[in-house]
Amino acid sequence: RDPASTSLRTPIVAVLGHVDHGKTSLLDKIRGSAVIEGEAGAITQHIGATAVPLDIISTIAGDLVDPDDFDLPGLLFIDTPGHHSFTTLRSRGGALADIAILVVDVNDGFQPQTLEALDILKRSETPFIVAANKIDTVPGWNENEDSPINDTYESQSDRVRSRLDEQLYEIIGNLSDEGFSADLYWRVQNFQRNVGVVPVSAMTGEGVPDLLAVMMGLSQRYMKEEMEIDVQGPGVGTVLEVKDEKGFGTTIDTVLYDGTIRADDQLVVGGQNEPIVTDVRALLQPRPLAEIRTESRFEKVDEVGAAAGIKVAAPELDEAMAGAPVRVVRNRDLNDVIQEVQAELADIAVDTGEEGVVVKADTLGSLEAMADALDEAEVPIVRAEVGDVAPRDVSVASTADDPKQRVILGFNVDTLSDAERRAEADDVTIFTDEVIYQLIEEYEEFVEEMEQ
Ligand code: GTP
Ligand code: MG
């Protein structure tokens, strides 16, 4: 790459965790702090993401972040709703997120989606820290709004401190049970080898300065080289979600992690059957909060550069898949780009055999994760696809001779009503769940009962 045209992009931070453990509140708190500092305009809302520039991080984190120590431009946070499978967050060759924050409620501890998140972080080798959230709920807690953890910790009574310590060591123990060596973040020397636990409250902002400082430090120290991109190069990204948008038809919410995308670009997007070749009709960004009352929720922009979340409106997107690659063609041979996208799709494709169960999942990433987990459980797969459970899936499952294989496993998907009726008639069993290992456990129980 020509060094003159390279620059450092914003690291992509995925915020993961069990439902209601406080992912969105944490991002709201960071946004809210910027508003209080009179810097509301500095934080930009993206599609599915929030960009926080370095100077704001430094304002919120105070002494903990000196902007002169960093040359990365800030952090781009992707919020993943608990019900939504964050396995979508994949990119060429692995995880879309450069780093992650796993949010754990100190009262509620490890829950199914916490374990699932850990499993995926492990598989994708994504460096992460744990935000031990809701520390303000410890009975007797003395609030110190927006304070670094050390200061607020010092101001608590012995009883509160030891209660919090207990909760934190429980989380550290849980992490160790899952094979991660973890400790309170200020004791961690090497964040690549050990997981740092940061006590926070998304409600009071306590510990949020620490969280931002650790994320910045981690990115700067270990990710800097990977953040070098060709700022003017053709964009590369991943589909987060395929959505119908009034007035625009089918659109793809995309996270761009390299290069730029322009309003007049030609794109190749991974589709259900083959790569989709299309021309951008509009690049859409959410309007700033202040303008929310205007006619359209979106603002058209001419160009966006990585890293960013952007909604792309273009024709022919009906068959686009969440988790699929998006590539800008610009000044390159279209066929080369189609081949790149095909190669990337082939890389994700699940190996299927002559017989086995039918697997459906909401995104390419989750399909991949399902296939991995089934492979480990030694369950063969006959068909694996992104999408809801449909009658044709029942037809495939019903051809199995082995009753253990007259089964459809659906992860984070719905079952169409005619598929349900058909399954009943054809003696096919459909399992659906929002947690992969639970889904597999349900299936294993079914097999065990059958074998008795
Ligand atoms: P999903 O998007 O549904 O997965 O949930 P989430 O992880 O985004 O959780 P959310 O931020 O919506 O918070 C869930 C509830 O916990 C809300 O009622 C929050 O007000 C509350 N909450 C979040 N963080 C804190 C905290 O630090 N302290 C206290 N006391 N409550 C919190
Ligand atoms: Mg949320």
Q: What is the pLDDT of residues 194-223, one digit of tens each?
A: 999 999 999 999 999 999 999 999 999 888
Return d(Cα 395, Cα 425) in angstroms, integer.
Answer: 11
**CA 19 to ligand 1: nearest atom:** 4
User: How are the residues of the chain apportioned to helix, strand and coil, as percentages rounded to the nearest 5?
Assistant: 40, 30, 35
**What six digits make up the tokens of 138?**
């410890």
Ligand 1 center–CA 248 separation, angstroms: 33
Q: Which residues line ligand 1 (CB under 6 A)?
A: 17, 19-25, 81-82, 133-134, 136-137, 201-203
Ligand 2 center–CA 27 separation, angstroms: 9
Ligand 2 center–CA 81 separation, angstroms: 5
**CA 21 to ligand 1: nearest atom:** 7
With 60 as the cut, is the pLDDT of residue 294 above it? no
Residues 6+ apart with CB under 8 A from 240: 47, 48, 78, 88, 89, 252, 253, 254, 255, 309, 322
Mean of pLDDT values over 337-341: 96
With 90 as the cut, is the pLDDT of residue 41 above it? no
Which of 16, 19, 24, 25 best tests ligand 1's pocket when mutated (most atoms within 8 Å of CB)?
A: 25
Minimum CA distance residue for ligand 1 atom 18: 20
User: What is the sign, positive or negative, of the torsion defined by CA atoms of 20, 21, 23, 27?
Assistant: positive
Going through 306-420 in order, the beta strands assigned E by DSSP cover: 308-313, 325-328, 357-361, 381-386, 407-411
With 80 as the cut, is the pLDDT of residue 291 above it? no
Minimum CA distance residue for ligand 1 atom 13: 22
Ligand 1 center–CA 68 separation, angstroms: 33
Minimum CA distance residue for ligand 1 atom 23: 22
- Range with the poorest average pLDDT among 92-106, 130-144, 416-430: 92-106
pTM: 0.87
Q: How are beta strands 12-17 and 99-105 bridged, if at all? A: parallel
386 is in an annotated binding site: no
Is residue 397 within 8 Å of residue 46, measured between CB atoms? no
353 is in an annotated binding site: no
24 is in an annotated binding site: yes
With 50 as the cut, is the pLDDT of residue 292 above it? no
Ligand 1 center–CA 31 separation, angstroms: 15
- Range with the poorest average pLDDT among 47-56, 285-294, 353-362: 285-294
21 is in an annotated binding site: yes
With 70 as the cut, is the pLDDT of residue 290 above it? no
pLDDT per residue as tens digits for the range 107-143 = 999 998 899 889 888 888 889 999 999 999 999 999 9
In this predicted structure, what is the pLDDT of residue 345? 86
Return d(Cα 373, Cα 119) in angstroms, integer.
Answer: 10
**CA 201 to ligand 1: nearest atom:** 27
- Range with the poorest average pLDDT among 65-74, 230-239, 282-291: 282-291
Tell which residue, 320, 319, 301, has the closest CA to residue 239: 320
Minimum CA distance residue for ligand 1 atom 24: 22
pLDDT per residue as tens digits for the range 348-403 = 778 889 999 999 998 888 888 899 889 989 999 999 998 899 999 999 999 999 99
Q: How confident is the model at residue 40 (pLDDT cuts 50, 70, 90)?
A: low
46 is in an annotated binding site: no
Ligand 2 center–CA 102 separation, angstroms: 13
